[in-house]
A = this chain, B = another copy of it.
Amino acid sequence: MHASEFERYRQLRREFHRYPEPAWCEFHTTARLVEALEERDPDAIYVGREALASEKRTRVPDESVLEEWTERAREAGADESVLERTAGGHTGCIATFEFGDGPIVGLRVDIDALPVRESDDADHQPAADGFRSTNEGYMHACGHDGHMTIGLGAIDAVMEGDFDGTLIACFQPSEETVAGGEPMAASGRLDDVEYLFALHLGLDHPSGEVVCGIDEFLAVRHLRAEFQGETAHAGASPQQGRNAVQAMAAAVENLYAIPRHAEGKTRVNAGVVGGGTATNVIPEEAFLEGEVRGSTTELADYMYRKAERVVSSAAEMHGCEASMETTGGAPSAESDPELAEVVGEVARAVDGVTAIRDRDDLGGSEDATYLMRHVQERGGLACYVCVGTDHPGAHHSATFDLVEDDLRIAIEVLSGAIERVGRDGVRDVST
C-alpha cells in the first residue's frame, strides 16, 4: 500500500474516532459509512431496516435517547435520507459488490462505541493529535473505528484485485451490547454466504501478530433486575420503608460472590446500577443492569440461575419485590480451521507480520457469533481473525488506542484471504 493511500485510511479512522456513538445510536456513523460505500459504487446497499430483522433487536434505548443522538447527528451534518432510513434506532448497513460468478464471501465489522470518557492526557495520542472524542462521555475504546476503516480498505483492495465472486460487507451496529448480531444475521442478507470473515484488532496481541482463528467466545447473557420496595420518611418512620437500594446492594455484593465453576470460565458484572429519589426518603425503587458469561452456554446459564437466586433473595431480605429479565446475549462459536489456515497462509506474506498463531481464546463475548453460526448452519465456513496491535490502555479503558500502521496489515490480510478463497476455496483439514 502506498503511503498516500495509507494516509487516507489513517484520516478516515481518525474521523470515525472523533465521532463515537453508542449502540443503536450510530446515526452519524451509518450516514458516513453509506457515503463512503456509495463512493465505491456497490451493486446494492441496505441501510437500517433493510439490513436488520427489526423485531430481533434488544436493548434499544428510549425514544428520547434515540432522538437526542439523531438530532446530534443531524447537527453534525449527517445525510437526512440516511437519518430517515435509520429512524427508531435501525442503524448499520450492508453493501454488496458483485465481481463475477465466484463464491459469495462475507466480511463483518462492527461500528458502535462505548460510554467511556476518553482520556485527555497528553500521553493519549488521540488527545495529543486532536482527534479525541467530540461526543464527551463516549469513546471508540474498543477499536471499532479501526474496524470500519479496515472494512472499507478491504473493499478497496478487493476491487483492485482479481476476485471474481461477490463480496458482502456488513457494518454491524450494537456489538458492545451484543444486540446487533442477531437481527443482522436474521436479515436474510447473509443467507448465501459461503465464507465469512470477522475481525478484531488488538485483544492484547502485539503489533505484527495475527491470530488466524479465534475460539472460545464467552457465551453471555445480559440481565436487568428491578427492585420494588416502599418509600417512607427516613427520619420519622424508617421502619415503614422497604428499602430497594439496600436490596440492590445486597444483590451486588453477592452476585460477584457466586461460586467459581470448575468446568470453565465464568464472569459476572453489575455494570450499571441506580436507585432512590431523595436523601430523606427510604428508596422505593432500584435497578441493576449487568451480565453473566461462561466459556460455554451451560456455564453462562449456571451463572444466570445463580444470579436470579441472588436477586430474588436479596429483595426478599429487605421486604422488596424483584423482577429480573434477560436482555439479550450471544452464543459461543468456533472458527473453522480450514478458513483459519487460509488466513495464515495469506498473513505469512504480508509485510509487517512477524508472528502467526493458529488459534487463541477470545476471553470475551462477541455477537459476531450469531453471523458465524448463521453461515455455518447453512454449510458455509466462518473465521474470526485477530490482527494484533500495541494498545497502551486495555480495551474499554479511557486510554485505549491503536497503532495505525496495523490497519494496513489488517486490510491486506483480510482482502488477501477473501481473494484466496474466491480463487482456491479451502483445503479439507478434517482428515
The chain A residues found within 8 Å of chain B, CB to CB, are 114-116, 176-177, 203-204, 218, 220, 222, 230-241, 243, 245-246, 248-250, 252-254, 256-257, 259-263, 265-267, 269-283, 286, 289-291, 293, 302, 309-310, 312-314, 316-319, 362-365, 394-398
Contacts and interface: CB of A to CB of B under 8 A. Distances in A.
Contact of A257 (B257, B266, B275, B362): B257
B274 A279 contact: no
B397 A231 contact: yes
A284 to B, nearest CB: 8
Contacts of A230: 397
Contacts of A365: 235, 280
Contacts of A204: 236
Contacts of A318: 254
B273 A273 contact: yes
Contacts of A398: 231
Nearest to A286: B273
Given A234-B271, A270-B276, 9 more contacts: A233-B395, A236-B363, A236-B364, A239-B302, A246-B256, A246-B270, A249-B249, A253-B254, A309-B316
B235 A293 contact: yes
A290 B238 CA distance: 13
Given A176-B280, A222-B279, A277-B272, A262 B363 contact: yes
A246 B253 contact: yes
Contact of A275 (B233, B236, B246, B272): B272
A190 to B, nearest CB: 25
Nearest to A232: B394
A220 B235 contact: yes
A279 B269 contact: yes
A257 B115 CA distance: 25
Nearest to A291: B279
Nearest to A282: B269
Given A290-B279, A317-B317, A249 B239 contact: no
Given A302-B239, A364-B235, A397-B231, A271 B281 contact: yes
| Chain B CB within 10 Å, residue with most, of A203, A243, A250, A269 | A269
29 contacts: A115-B278, A116-B277, A176-B278, A177-B279, A218-B235, A232-B397, A233-B364, A233-B394, A234-B293, A235-B291, A235-B363, A238-B261, A239-B260, A239-B261, A239-B262, A243-B259, A249-B250, A250-B250, A250-B254, A256-B257, A257-B257, A271-B276, A271-B282, A271-B283, A273-B276, A280-B364, A313-B313, A313-B316, A314-B317
Given A177-B279, A272-B278, A281-B396, A260 B254 contact: no
Contacts of A278: 114-116, 176-177, 271-272
Given A254-B253, A289-B279, A273 B271 contact: no
A273 B275 contact: yes
B273 A396 contact: no
A313 B309 contact: no
Contacts of A274: 273-275
A64 to B, nearest CB: 13
Contacts of A289: 276, 279
Nearest to A260: B238
A257 B266 CA distance: 13
A72 to B, nearest CB: 16
